[in-house]
Structure 1
Amino acid sequence: EGTLVDLARVLASLQSLTSLRFQGAWNHIFPLLAELFRFYGPASRPALEPILVTCCELHEAADQLPQQQQGGKSAQALSQLFALAAGAAVEALGPRAFLEIVPIDHPTEIVSEQRAWLLPVFRDALRVSKRGGELGFFADVVLPMARACEAGARESNVTPLQAKKLQTRAIQLWTLFPSVCARAVDIDTHFKKIAKVLASAMADKRYPELRLAVCQGLQALVKRTRALQKSVARRYHRETEDAEVEDVEEEVEDDNEEEQLDEAKLARDRAALAKYSGRYVPLLLSFVEELDPEKDTERAQVLLDTLEGFASLAEAELIGTTFKKVMQKLLEATTEAKRVETEGAGSNSKRAVKLRQISHAQMALALALLAHVDDANVALLYRVIKPYLLDDADAPMQKRSYAALVAICDSHPKFLSEESQLQDLTRAICESLLTCSVPAKKMRLRVLAHLIRALQAQPATDGLAEKELVPNLVGEIMLCTKEANGKAREAAFELLVAMAMLLRARDPQNGLMEFIQMVLGGLAARTPHMRSAAVICLSRLVFEFGREDPAIAQAMPALLKTVLMLLHEKAREVIKSVIGFMKLGIAVLPKDQLEQFLPDIINGLLVWIGESKNRFRAKTRIILIKLCRKFGYEHVAALVPEEDRALIRHIKKTKEREDKKKSELAAEAAERRAAKKNRDAFEEFMADSDDEGDDDEAAAMQVLKRKKDLHKKNKGGKVIREDEDDIVDFLDDNAAVKNIFSAQKGGKDDDDSDDEFQMTKDGRMIIPGGEDDDMEGGSDSDDEDKIKQDVASQLQRMGLNNNGKNDKNGRSKRKRGGDDDGSNGREYRAKKAGGDIKKKGKLEPYAYIPLDPKLMAKRNKREAVTRYGGNVGKRRGKK
């Protein structure tokens, strides 16, 4: 009960923070409220309902707030804060419960204009909500509102502006469908209620935007079932492979997965979607045929992804029949297009363009269905696309043909496992070398990568890779390393390395060097572009295999000598590649082998330093710096002509300046660290000094406590002092002081002993008083009274008034004023004469003023002047 009361108080405080007087802190308040909604989840209701209502009301009034009441923020910034909290409430409560608290419907407007801002909030929140979306909510709440908006827009008494507004509102409501489907939890029970409505919405030509929204939602449903199915498969794999492994954390994860992944429900979800795949697949096919995939790329891709998703759920017979129809339309369109193009009539040019558009759409449909067809249909597709590999007249069609080959290799690995099929594809790829268009190069490289991997898995019996594929395609791969497309370049380099590994696997002794000899053949090409590509490929091979293959390490001097011959060319792209290879050679070759090439390297670099218009100045300077580090400045300067030695001197001076600057920076950093350490120590000391004034009395009480403890310690083992000549008078008032002493001190005869002094725990010596002092009953008072007097005088010297009023903690409060702080010498004033007198056991007769660090502050300047000026003024008055 107490916890609930405290929670109610906290919530009331949070409710008060949403008032306008706390608007300066709204940047922190509303994110806090959002986290509270997410933390409590469904339990947020009803405790946080007032906060949610207030948040929505503030959003509606954000535009009406004056600028001075917006805390310097725009109305848009405030609205984002309110929307943040509202979105968190949607995630926590769910859309149904949210609308029960904050309804958005309106009697006349269908959707309230003031609450329309909640639709984008719902869209974003439902996509990430951990509660999951409900198709039932979309069917029961959203769809009726969308239908009402559409019906209202068709009424005769509605103005065009109002009709357009209602249509826009209906589209906004439909855009909630993808978000609801992202984490839908009731596919098996509610999808059948909206399946026909979704098909009608996609076919509605009045609202073309709905087709995209519905397809995105259907795609999300299919992806969700796929993801859950993969999770089930991974869990099953772990259970079968790691059944003997006992891991507590893994068991907890599996338990959590069992709660989320119900295999029976997953099967029901897939069955509910598959039930309508026979209706959706033909419908989606017709939508794609209406588009040109080359122009409407985004919309076509969404439709194709949705088609591929439902093809994975449909029956194999349906997909096979549909695929054959697509192939038939593709052949008819391509055949008719070629006939029209051969006739060459001007009136038929539009007809040819239309036919090419149809063929492109049919090829896109074939790619969407390809992963779910059987081997016979795969062979049919290969026979259809093979002629397009040799025809570069239609570049988009050729690109899609190569993409189809990649899809075949990805989804049907058996296609390349047959030797006859592998040989046929290899010959087709080699024959299409000269007819490959630029857009198709990337996909062609991916096909080549699949071929290389397939050849690696095949036994080396026919020599197909060594005789046909690699020698014919190495030049193409080298040129692809110079492509403008970064992905194509990376694919070319990976394929180059794969070819080298293939030949090395076939011939471990000479295979790699034979491949390098093929690459070296490119250095003799006529075009600088090819020579530059050859040097780049050689650099990649040396980088990849130079450290692990001894043959390349032995051939590296000869390779460097060959490449250095290109330094005297005028083509800048060749020089750029050669400089890169030189950097690699300097790093790979040992010092003794590299020294013989120093004259050629330096002379070749110096040629381009002065004539390159600064194109290679930075690169050549880096190489010279590397050489100077490896061989020394003097050795390199001796090989440089006299007119260019200034460059070496400049490099040396620059390096010295850099080293000096680094050392200075290091020294400055060390000084800063030392200064910071000293500053921290000083601040700590000053902080301790500031606390001294408050702790003086506590320190004095510690002294009193230590003296009391020492007195109690010495009190143990008390004995009565007796003399042979004196009689002990127990009725004497001072008997307790004169006649009782500690047994540890000993008697009269022990006063002159040579024993060591006793030591306290902190190392101080305890020096006992003499016999005369012990026996003087009238000179001293009781020990405890003496200790209290010492403490009182110490407090007085430290500037504390022991007689003042105490606070509730028992500590005396210091009074302001100069005379009450410290000792002003008043206690030394003579009562019967002028001047001061010395007192026994007291300090010299001066005024003692404590040095308080707090008085150094500007705000305490007046107090300091009052304290010190009063005492100084009195002394001056006496003179």
Structure 2
Amino acid sequence: MTTMEAVESAESLAAVAYLLNLVLKRVPAPVLRKKFSDTSKAFMSILASQAGSSSTSALRWVVSCLATLLRKQDLAAWSYPVTLQVYHGLLSFTVHAKPKVRKAAQHGICSVLKGSECLFGDAAPEHHPAARSTAKFCVQEIEKAGGTKEATTTLHVLTLLRDLLPCLPAAATKTCCETLLRVMTLGHVLVTACAMQAFHGLFSAQPSPACLPAELNAQIITALYDYVPSESDLQPMLAWLAVMERAHINLVGLQKELCWGHLPRLFAAAMTCLLSPHPQVLSATAQTLKVLLSECVAPHVTDLGPVSTSASGPAASLCKMFRAVEEGLTYRFHAAWAPVLQVLRAFFEACGKQGHPVMRKCLQSLCDLRLSPHFPYTTELDETVGAAVGTMGPEVVLEAVPLGIDGREEMLDFPRSWLLPVLRDHIRGARLGFFTSHFLPLAAALKGRAVELAQDGKTLESKIYDTLQGQVWSLLPGFCRWPTDVVSSFKGLARTLGTALSERPDLRLPVCQALRTLITKGCQTDAERTEVGRFAKNFLPILFNVYSQPGDDGRNSAHRRAVLDTVRAYLTVTEQQMVCGFLQKASEKLSSPDSSEFTRLSILDLIVAMAPYADEPTLDALYHTIQPSLQTKEHGVQKKAYRVLEEVCAAPHGPCQAFVRSNLGELKTVLLDSLKSAASPAKRPRLKCLFHIVKQLTAEDEAFITALVPEVILCTKEVSVGARKNAFALLVEMGEAFLRFGPAPQEAMQRFLLLAYAGLTGSVAMISCTLLALTRLLFEFKEHLGPGETGQLLQSVCLLLGSRTRDVVKAALGFLKAALLLVDVKLLTTHVPTILEAVGALSDDMRRHFRTKLKNLFTKFIRKFGSVVEGVQGAQLQLGPFVTLRAAGRGRSQRPLRQAATRNQDPEALPKPRGDSMEEVLADSDEEEEEERGRRGPRQPRGQAWLKEGAGDDPLNFLDSNVAQRVLATRPGSSRAGRASRDFGVSEDGRLIIREDEDEDREENGRARDMDEETADLMQDMGLRSKKAQKRRFREEAGDEELEGDTASHYRAGGSGIHRPLGKEAAFGADYTSKVRAPYGTCPWGSGVGTSFDSPCAVVSSMPCPGALGAARGSCPEPRHSGPAWGCSRLGALVESWGCGVMSSPAPA
């Protein structure tokens, strides 16, 4: 403080004030309270002396210091006049002319009123002691400013009130709101907008009733109806809707009944907004109504009970709201039918269960509207009716709008058949008995009519009825989603479902889906699970028999998968004793010599599904039954036998875990002895078995893991993706096991890595697999590796870079890339020279083959270790080509700019070097700002408003209560069509030029794409991520890195081909056009197609072709077609377009 009083220059004062601003926040509150008088006096004197200064730095920081000082004062200090005097001094700066000072003061006032320490004590008041005087100051400033043209002070105060209104007491809030409503009558667009923002801030803060009582909230809502903007005035209408939405949401939290009383008027007013010509208003109106329904209506609609047209109170309000929205289906609102249907959908979702008596007529109107010709909103209408089905239930909906299908129709038009897919997708929580009583007879009648028509030879009519009965059966899974009467109705449906499974192959898919849905989503209580599980003795044998039936067609395969999934689901509600009985019979049939291979595989699939639910004695017998299958030479049987073990080892049930513990030694022996006899398809489940076995091992079993390491490492490059994933997972689990064995993590990991190092001395495939395994281990256990182990890994990998095998070098480069991301920078810095020397010693063939990987690797090294890389002389020699590539890339990116500048003869278009000094930089920025202002033209004044004239020749009545709707912030009749830009360019001859964004950006994104592809390869090799998502993105790129056959397509409409003037230079951005890869090995007359060409002329000159094309070689004029050569199948068209004569013989197909 002494320094601040002693300094003279404004810069020094600002620096000291800034330092004080930082320090005061950390000074204890008792110190600031004790020194308040002296400190505030010094601050106020500085504010008085600097108030008129052109520099704002000192003012803003002193204002911030003063706010911090006031915020630390206790409740007693605010009773002193000096404290309020200092506060009012700070308050006066909230309307300062300088924006930074004004914002600092407004922020300080808000922090004082919201975050003072006196508000958080035990005897804290509801509002700050200075809140009333603050509201009085704001009202006085607004009244003082009056209706001036600029209204600058009013805008500043309204900005302050936006944050302060939720902090004021109720009386002050009412006074301020009345002032806001009065100032909105001025018709000033910006003032009205800021006042709306203040109201929005008040309601969004959801203040307590001490600040905003429910009555005041309702009064503000009523008053705002006098300021409804015109529906054609875009921004004010959006603001009004947002304010009304927040006002009603706040009111429903204060007093629910009062809010419900005001909602019908808002819904009626909002429906008129749907007549607006602006699509933004339509979407905002629909969103407002949907939010009100979800926030104000849906949480309280259950308290209403059934709603009817004769209801009173809140139920009557709900009817009025729905009638207002239902009116939107009339032709008057035809342009807004899409948002109207969205609101109706929200209404059905919120109130359909209680309000369906008043909504049935609307459902009929919707169905009639759906049948009108060329109705454009069928999707939205289907979703709306679907919402009604989901909440009201299918019984209510079909009672209001019957299907009109009974199987005895004369005309086969079925106007309401569209309801069947809607019912299928939205039925939930319905009565299962309704399907039994209503839809089962209908399906039987439709099937009978289909059979009759088929017998009469009417195939088409029979197919229609057969399709309809299939659609009726497709409703069954929906009825099984959270049904309300499982215990009472399932027994009446079970026999029909069993018959359909065994006798109706066309119904197996919906029936199986229904059973699975019923078990997973319909059995919520123990009684329901018991009722469904009671019929397991009937359903499971049927499902077993269906699954065991052989079939070669794809339909049967899909049915078998569905049946097996249904078996798995039904076993979850089946008693264990019954499962054991089924397992015993399946084991007997598996051991029978009469069983075919298909039967044994099917039985093994069923055993895999049943094994986790059996008891321990049954599992022992099952294990001895399948043990011979583990050694069989039938790969399919062996794989499924291992799948049985996998399911048993992975099951969380007690009997399975007890079986694994009691037979752990034997399982280890069997799995280890089957190392050589295990077929490739069986490795995925076998590795999964080992994964679960390793989880239960102790330190005494370390020898078992040691014997497994070589096999697991080799499996990291198996053909099967699942085997690779399980191999990596098992590798990580073995590392975790060594950490459990101890004694210290680093020592345990060192022992485990020594086992993996042995693979580096094996075959080429073993070395490559070992490097992948080490990369994954580095990723998983980097925190447990000491500097010595990490350094040894890096040195070993650098030695392997000298291999002559590409697989080994590729794996080593992948390890180095992972090390760059995982290893500590300080540790890796010491090994950078060794790594770069090893990379630099690669042969020319290796460098050429892995040029993309090396380029990306060098880029990462330079970014991370720039100074270290520059110090390695050998690395500089190897970096040369890649630096050249980057320079060439920069040249390509700037080439279009240089070409455009050359055409325009504008030397200023080229990039200019910036000055080094601050003055030169500022001068450049000033020039750019002047140029920008010159291009944009004079700036339009803000806050413009327009008056909408009366209809015809009637004069505008300024005394009308609705005159506020005539003051528009949007210019009436203005059209943006003149400012719309063309989507496509036009060539000189009038043709459209269509450029693809992907083609234009391909060269810019090529480098990043290559690095993404390489990272995806590495992650896939490490078993961390699947590459399926990358395949679609890069499926047009060749997998071999040696092949590069890109040819640039330079076709431009109007500027190339037969329409172009010869000698015309390339178009701006021509270097960014698309590139295509020439096909390889498709030409029967030569090998020239497999070469990379720059133009189609090169394709012609390099291909030995028969007939007239061969005679025309050498004299062929400049080609008239500049598209890519796609192959010899289009050779005749190419020759004809190039003008080389007609071929004497047809082009080969």
Shorter-chain TM-score tier: 0.5 to 0.7
Counterpart residue number, 1:784? none
Counterpart residue number, 2:723? 488
2:642 maps to which of 402, 425, 438: 402
1:409-488 to structure 2, matched below 5 A, reads 409-411=649-651, 412=653, 415=656, 421-456=663-698, 460=699, 463=700, 465-467=701-703, 469-488=704-723
State yes or no: 1:174 paired with 2:473. Answer: yes
Counterpart residue number, 2:803? 569
Q: What's the CA shift for 1:437?
A: 2.3
Cα distance in 2, alignment partners of residues 118 and 307 from structure 1:
32
Q: 1:323 and 1:9, CA in 2 relative to 1: closer, same or farther beyond 3 A?
A: closer
Q: What's the CA shift for 1:606?
A: 3.1
2:590 maps to which of 309, 323, 330: 330
Counterpart residue number, 1:558? 792
TM-score (norm 2): 0.48
Counterpart residue number, 2:409? 109
Contact 1:564 1:578 in 2 (8 A): yes
1:498-577 to structure 2, matched below 5 A, reads 498-509=733-744, 510-526=747-763, 528-550=764-786, 553-577=787-811
Counterpart residue number, 2:463? 164
Q: 1:531 and 1:18, CA in 2 relative to 1: closer, same or farther beyond 3 A?
A: same
Counterpart residue number, 1:497? 732
Q: 1:36 and 1:502, CA in 2 relative to 1: closer, same or farther beyond 3 A?
A: same
The Cα offsets for residues 487-526 of structure 1, whole Å up to 9 and x where unpaired, read as 4333322211221222333242543222211211111112
Amino acid across the alignment from 2:419: L
Q: Work out which structure has the larger RCO, using CA pairs closer than 8 Å and 6 or more positions apart in sequence.
A: 2
Cα distance in 2, alignment partners of residues 193 and 683 from structure 1:
81
Cα distance in 1, alignment partners of residues 671 and 962 from structure 2:
97
More displaced stretch, 601-610 vs 23-32: 601-610
Counterpart residue number, 1:216? 513
Q: What's the CA shift for 1:95?
A: 0.9
1:276 maps to which of 520, 529, 535: 535
Q: Which has the larger radius of gyration?
A: 1
The Cα offsets for residues 352-384 of structure 1, whole Å up to 9 and x where unpaired, read as xxx000101111222222233211111111112
Cα distance in 2, alignment partners of residues 629 and 540 from structure 1:
24
Q: 1:292 and 1:327, CA in 2 relative to 1: closer, same or farther beyond 3 A?
A: farther
Q: What's the CA shift for 1:408?
A: 0.8
1:560-709 to structure 2, matched below 5 A, reads 560-586=794-820, 597-608=831-842, 610-612=844-846, 614-629=848-863, 631-633=865-867, 636=870, 638-640=872-874, 644=878, 646-647=880-881, 650=884, 686-688=941-943
Counterpart residue number, 1:828? none
Cα distance in 1, alignment partners of residues 962 and 570 from structure 2:
83
Unaligned runs of 5+ in 1: 229-265, 338-354, 695-803, 814-853, 859-879
TM-score (norm 1): 0.62
Q: 1:95 and 1:385, CA in 2 relative to 1: closer, same or farther beyond 3 A?
A: same
Contact 1:293 1:300 in 2 (8 A): no
Contact 2:486 2:522 in 1 (8 A): no
Cα distance in 2, alignment partners of residues 405 and 101 from structure 1:
56
Cα distance in 2, alignment partners of residues 96 and 21 from structure 1:
32
Q: 1:116 and 1:807, CA in 2 relative to 1: closer, same or farther beyond 3 A?
A: closer
Q: 1:619 and 1:100, CA in 2 relative to 1: closer, same or farther beyond 3 A?
A: same
State yes or no: 1:122 paired with 2:423. Answer: yes
Cα distance in 1, alignment partners of residues 438 and 734 from structure 2:
61
Counterpart residue number, 1:362? 603
- For the residue of structure 2 that corresponds to 1:45, the secondary structure is helix
Q: 1:311 and 1:493, CA in 2 relative to 1: closer, same or farther beyond 3 A?
A: closer
Please report the RMSD computed on the Cα atoms of aligned residues, expressed in angstroms. 4.3
Cα distance in 1, alignment partners of residues 719 and 331 from structure 2:
58
Contact 1:33 1:85 in 2 (8 A): yes
Q: 1:163 and 1:631, CA in 2 relative to 1: closer, same or farther beyond 3 A?
A: closer
1:288 maps to which of 538, 544, 547: 547
Cα distance in 2, alignment partners of residues 362 and 11 from structure 1:
59
More displaced stretch, 372-381 vs 619-628: 619-628
- For the residue of structure 1 that corresponds to 2:784, the secondary structure is coil
Contact 1:403 1:443 in 2 (8 A): yes
The Cα offsets for residues 156-192 of structure 1, whole Å up to 9 and x where unpaired, read as 6683433332222222211111110122110111112
- For the residue of structure 2 that corresponds to 1:481, the secondary structure is helix
Identity %: 26
More displaced stretch, 101-110 vs 648-657: 648-657
Contact 1:142 1:173 in 2 (8 A): yes
1:808 maps to which of 959, 975, 983: 959
Contact 1:609 1:616 in 2 (8 A): no
The Cα offsets for residues 751-785 of structure 1, whole Å up to 9 and x where unpaired, read as xxxxxxxxxxxxxxxxxxxxxxxxxxxxxxxxxxx
Cα distance in 1, alignment partners of residues 609 and 678 from structure 2:
24
Q: 1:549 and 1:370, CA in 2 relative to 1: closer, same or farther beyond 3 A?
A: same
Q: What's the CA shift for 1:302?
A: 2.2
Q: What's the CA shift for 1:9?
A: 6.0
1:13-28 to structure 2, matched below 5 A, reads 13-20=324-331, 22-28=333-339
Counterpart residue number, 1:34? 345
Cα distance in 1, alignment partners of residues 335 and 956 from structure 2:
44
Cα distance in 2, alignment partners of residues 671 and 300 from structure 1:
76
Q: What's the CA shift for 1:452?
A: 0.4
Q: 1:610 and 1:166, CA in 2 relative to 1: closer, same or farther beyond 3 A?
A: same
Cα distance in 1, alignment partners of residues 314 and 827 from structure 2:
82
Q: What's the CA shift for 1:15?
A: 4.0
Unaligned runs of 5+ in 2: 1-311, 894-910, 915-920, 949-954, 965-970, 976-1149
Q: 1:413 and 1:433, CA in 2 relative to 1: closer, same or farther beyond 3 A?
A: farther
1:192-271 to structure 2, matched below 5 A, reads 192-204=491-503, 207-224=504-521, 228=524, 266-271=525-530
Cα distance in 2, alignment partners of residues 115 and 652 from structure 1:
65
- For the residue of structure 1 that corresponds to 2:814, the secondary structure is helix
Q: 1:597 and 1:651, CA in 2 relative to 1: closer, same or farther beyond 3 A?
A: farther
Q: 1:656 and 1:178, CA in 2 relative to 1: closer, same or farther beyond 3 A?
A: closer
Q: What's the CA shift for 1:809?
A: 7.8
Q: What's the CA shift for 1:117?
A: 1.3
Counterpart residue number, 2:258? none
Contact 1:609 1:617 in 2 (8 A): no
Cα distance in 1, alignment partners of residues 354 and 768 from structure 2:
69
More displaced stretch, 482-491 vs 144-153: 482-491
Q: What's the CA shift for 1:324?
A: 1.0
Q: 1:142 and 1:495, CA in 2 relative to 1: closer, same or farther beyond 3 A?
A: same
Contact 1:388 1:397 in 2 (8 A): yes
The Cα offsets for residues 563-614 of structure 1, whole Å up to 9 and x where unpaired, read as 2111121222211211122334556667786566545432432344843475
- For the residue of structure 2 that corresponds to 1:185, the secondary structure is coil
- For the residue of structure 1 that corresponds to 2:581, the secondary structure is helix
- For the residue of structure 2 that corresponds to 1:568, the secondary structure is coil
Amino acid across the alignment from 1:91: G
Cα distance in 2, alignment partners of residues 614 and 544 from structure 1:
32
Q: 1:54 and 1:398, CA in 2 relative to 1: closer, same or farther beyond 3 A?
A: same
Cα distance in 2, alignment partners of residues 158 and 597 from structure 1:
85
Contact 2:749 2:784 in 1 (8 A): no
